[in-house]
Structure 1
Amino acid sequence: MNRRAARVLEEWDPYSIGGDLYGSEIMEVIAQLHVLDDPSDLAKQIQSIYQFTFEKWIPLEHCVAISYKLLALKYEAKCII
């Protein structure tokens, strides 16, 4: 699940700088994905993580959209296990 989530986040590339430049942010988001189940809570964490590093705001609705994709991966992985 972690690898798939990382690929989703790399493809998301919210600042259009290249998905391979978000290593630490991706790891932080994946850590939050393991503890959060609410899309809004995860979206707020995603927004905060990226904004802290890049000092640029991402609209919350963009973060909510990616949080739903990540949570779908999480629940899919739970069903497989």
Structure 2
Amino acid sequence: MESERNTNLQFVDVLNEWDPFQLKGDSQYDTEIADTIQAIHELDSPEDLAERIQSIYEFSFEKNIPMNQCLTVAKQLLAIKENDSCTI
């Protein structure tokens, strides 16, 4: 349980640092981060996760994030997920 909590905190750090709309500051994306973390637990494909991330942020901000940016962050997030599942 502690491991999952730490992993989720790593996801939050990556997503806060990403700041795709340059809003500067934590808690600007709390809802989107929560939705993205749920998606990370559901999906294992970088492409599928990137599409979900793009749609989550587009729904909230009515702005499109280029897919290559979403794919980059999706790969980072899935690498964290993979590392966590390897340490039991």
If the length of structure 2 is used for normalisation, what is the TM-score? 0.90
Higher share of residues assigned helix: 1
- DSSP 3-state at the match of 2:44: coil
Give runs of ≥4 in structure 1 deviating > 3 Å.
Answer: none
Give 5+ residue unaligned stretches, structure 2. 1-6
Offset, 1:47: 0.2
Give 5+ residue unaligned stretches, structure 1. none
Deviation readout 1:22-64 (Å, 9 max, x if unpaired): 0010000000000100000000000000000000000000000
If the length of structure 1 is used for normalisation, what is the TM-score? 0.97
- DSSP 3-state at the match of 2:23: coil
Check the 8 A contact 1:32/1:45 in 2, yes or no: yes
The yes-or-no answer on 1:11 pairing with 2:17 is yes
Of structures 1 and 2, the larger Rg is shown by 2
Aligned mates of 1:49, 1:74 — CA distance in 2: 19
Q: How many residues align?
A: 81
Q: Identity rate of aligned residues, in percent?
A: 47
RMSD: 0.7
